[in-house]
Structure 1
Amino acid sequence: MSGEEAAAAAPATRSPDAFLWVWPLAATLGIQTASSFLLRLIPTIAPVLTASLGLSPEAIGSISSVGTVGSMLFLAIGHPLIRRFGPIRTLQIGLLLGGVGLALLTPPWWAAAYGASLLLGLGYGPSAPAGSDILLRHSPAAHRTLIFSLKQAGVPLGGVLAGLALPWLVGLMDWRAALLVVALLPLATVLLVQPLRERIDVDRDAGQPIGPSVLLSPANMLRPLRLVVSSPPLRGLTLAGCCFAIGQGSLFAFTVTWLVGLGYGLAQAGLVFAVMQATGVFGRVLLGWTSDRLGSGMPTLRFTAVSACATMLALASASAAWPFWALLLLAGVAGVTVSSWNGVHLAEVARHSPQGRVGETTAGATLITFVGYVVGPAGFGLALGALGGYPAAFLGVAAVSLVAFGGLIWSARQG
């Protein structure tokens, strides 16, 4: 029996063993934080990285998008790996791939930065399907959305660490040396979660084939997407997730570069980025708790879509004339409205998944969501030149948030 089938067959009442959800949550939260830290690394040091490689500041959009392509690659082909090795081992492998990506950032070649971003994204790929597999099997149904959101709080938490630690380290030493220090984080996380591996990965299938003919087969690559498109509620949910990702990906990729262009120093821009991430930790917990109280995450997601639109409108009006505290305040609001939807969204996807197929369904939904993380930064970068700067680009993202609202309305009517 696979891990997902075991989750579907598990009894509703579980013994009060704290391992059933505390340690699995701690492990997935720790891995999510470390993975997010690695993924946020390139946007956080973007001004230094692009300058050292002789690239324009706008190039950070395409570099970040390549990382998302790496995550999408895993989501498309990686489910047999989760079955074979188990979710914890797969997450550990992802962290180690991220460490290799860090090393690839150090050569003074622009092509290496794109290769590094690809590996960082590939290493991040297991976080959604493997994490959902673990939490669905170990979380009590009454608190599932909150637990999913707590795990997803590791995303902004990793961003906080990136926004605070990386500019500080770059100020102390050469940025390439700083990357070597940062490489200790994924390695330490791999070692810390190792004691849980045997118990959490108990349902792994050592006989699952993982050769190229299996991973790259059309049946394997299309199965997650077929699960999503065959369900009307999931189609609306996934459209909304893609739209949310466009806004979140654009904001995260360009915040530091935008603020440096307004005349702020890298440390100040990093602080704004860190505030955005910090309130995102609070926001994800708040939205998860609220959704459990309401009995559904759909009202929460609809409110998030409208508030994200309003936040983007405020960002479009921001300028160098604003006091720094106002930018910090707006960044704090954006952390909740633009970047706190993920845990609630994943829990709703899991709730609408076919019995025993939550990992594959999550992979399919996340794969389409990650299209937004590709289209968002790349499109935002193009809009900067074509539409005359940041205000028009932020207005475009505000319109996309309204599309997310429409997708959620349609999903609720279908479900």
Structure 2
Amino acid sequence: MSDPVRAAGRYRWVVLGVATFTQAAAAFFVHGIGAMSVHLQRDLDLNTTRLGLLLSAAQLLPLAGLLVAGRLLDRHDERWVVGTGALVVAVALAAGSLAPGYVSLLAALLIVGAGYSTIQPGGSKSVASWFDTSQRGLAMGIRQAGLPLGGVLSASALPALATAFGWRSTLVAGALVALAGAVAFMAFYRRPPHRPPARTASPMRLDLLREPYMKKVILSGTCLVSVHSGLGVLTVLYLHEVASMEAAPAALVYVAVQCAGALGRVCLAAWSDRHKSGRYACVLACLAAVIAGMALLATPAGRSPAVACLLFVWLGFFGIGWYGPWVAYAAEAAPPDRTGFALGLAMAVNQVAIILAPPALGLLTDVTGGFAAAWVLLAVLTGLTLAATARRPTVGGGRPGRIA
């Protein structure tokens, strides 16, 4: 093997490392909001519905932003698209630290979402372009673990920071971390040597929505991001109000949930590299595991602190870890010249669930006076998705002859 080829083989791990760090840095503040739910409810006088809206605010603009980001990624170098997006996140969070109240904070988080639109599809495409199919699942899983890892770090640090210095200090910390991610990606990312320069992409058309693989991607993605969002907005509140845990221990359990999610993204994606039935079979396994966890959480056994903690960690592993094999399947099944747009399109549709799930689940909790209805709803939706997407397996996912 020639020295240039060997050097390129080593550098792909640098690319993977910087893409993972940038993902974690951009997600640091947004995915720490759930751990600060008790602090935010107290300091800003929020009910569960308004808290859910706060989590959804950063997810609104990506509805259109992900499509634009996907288009940009098919036409321009990921280095500048992703780096600029991370800079926007940093600036918006810094501005949000000056917000006088709830409405201004919502506005700042909207801008955060615009910048964040480039991070998910851009990082996924950058990793997919450096790794072949034999290791792409593992690489995607490691990279996608950056999101729950950002949640782990923020859930560990932000509640203590909010207690000591107030909620505004958490936005300053988030801005500094996002800035570090932007600088790192722009400094270290390079286009793989075997890939030709970006050329003019095909027209932005939504015909991909009619493809069988995209239907599976969208149905499973919207369902499982709803589960992920539900865990983000309700975990700490459930443990505090139903399992009678103090806010600090409940936040630590949320850290464990995020750690389980990060581990799941790596392990499940690595499993998808070797699964005889292909990557999508791993997504189906996650759907089944989520149904079991949510159903048990809705029973009286879920009120036990020990049982609730175990169930939330289980749901973290499968209800967050699914993203690794899912995004690898989506990237491989897409046409090579439309990978960025296909990823952006799938993630944009997911955004509908990401936006609607937190306030909807919060409202359902407020109206019913408990959490059981939210868990049952998520279990039913997951069951319907499992039945619909397992019905007609197809061959694909980038590896001919294997069930997608």
Which TM-score band applies after superposition, normalised by the shorter structure? 0.7 to 0.9
2:343 maps to a residue whose letter is: T
What amino acid sits opposite 1:243 in the alignment? C
Pairing partner for 1:130 from 110, 122, 139 = 122
- Give yes or no for contact 1:94–1:125 (8 Å, CA) kept in 2: yes
Matches of 1:332 and 1:352 in 2, distance apart? 31
Alignment CA distance shift 1:399-1:148 (3 Å):
same
- Going from structure 1 to structure 2, the CA distance change for 1:177 and 1:63 (only over 3 Å counts) comes to closer
For 1:87-127, what per-residue CA distance to the aligned partner results, in whole angstroms no more than 9, with x for missing partners? 12222222222223323144232211211221222222212
- The 1:100–1:314 alpha-carbon spacing in structure 2 relative to 1, beyond 3 Å, is farther
Answer yes or no: is 1:405 the counterpart of 2:376: no
Partners of 1:170 and 1:178 within 8 A in 2: yes
| Deviation sequence 1:233-270 (CA, Å, 0-9, x none) | 22122111111111111111222233333443332221
Instruction: Quickly say closer, same or farther: Cα 1:294–1:319, change in 2 above 3 A.
Output: closer
Call closer, same or farther: CA 1:411–1:246 in 2, change over 3 Å.
Answer: farther
| TM-score (normalizing by structure 2) | 0.87
Aligned match of 2:101 in 100, 109, 124?
109
Partner residue of 2:161 out of 153, 157, 169: 169
Q: Return the alpha-carbon distance in structure 2 between the equivalents of residues 311 and 291 of structure 1.
A: 22
Q: Which amino acid aligns with 1:139?
A: F
CA RMSD between the two structures: 2.6
1:291 to 244, 256, 272: 272
Cα pair distance change 1:399/1:260, threshold 3 Å: same
The answer to whether residue 366 in structure 2 is matched with residue 385 in structure 1 is yes
Assess if the C-alpha contact under 8 Å between 1:298 and 1:408 holds in 2: no
> Percent of aligned pairs with the same residue?
26
CA deviations over 1:368-394 (Å, ceiling 9, x no partner): 122221222122122213444201111
2:256 equivalent in structure 1 = 275
Gap change, CA 1:208 and 1:302, over 3 Å in 2: closer
Instruction: Compute the displacement of 1:197 (Å).
Output: 3.8
- Which structure 2 segments of 5+ residues have no match? 397-404
Post-superposition Cα deviations, 1:123-147, rounded to whole Å, max 9, x if no partner, equal 2221232122212210022111111
Gaps of 5+ in 1: 1-13, 210-218
The equivalent residue for 2:346 is 365
What's 1:216 paired with? none
1:188 to 2:180 alignment = yes
Look up the match of 1:6: none
Task: Using structure 1 for the length normalisation, give the TM-score.
Answer: 0.85
Cα distance in 2, alignment partners of residues 152 and 231 from structure 1: 25
CA contact (8 A) 1:384 1:393 kept: yes
SS at match of 2:245: coil
Q: Which residue in 2 is equivalent to 1:306?
A: 288
Query: For residues 409 and 47 of structure 1, what CA distance do their matches in structure 2 show?
Result: 39
CA shift for structure 1 position 297: 1.0
**CA offsets, 1:1-36, max 9 Å, x none?**
xxxxxxxxxxxxx93333452111111111111122
1:410/1:238 CA distance change after superposition, 3 Å? farther
Q: CA deviation at 1:232?
A: 1.4
SS in 2 for 1:237: helix
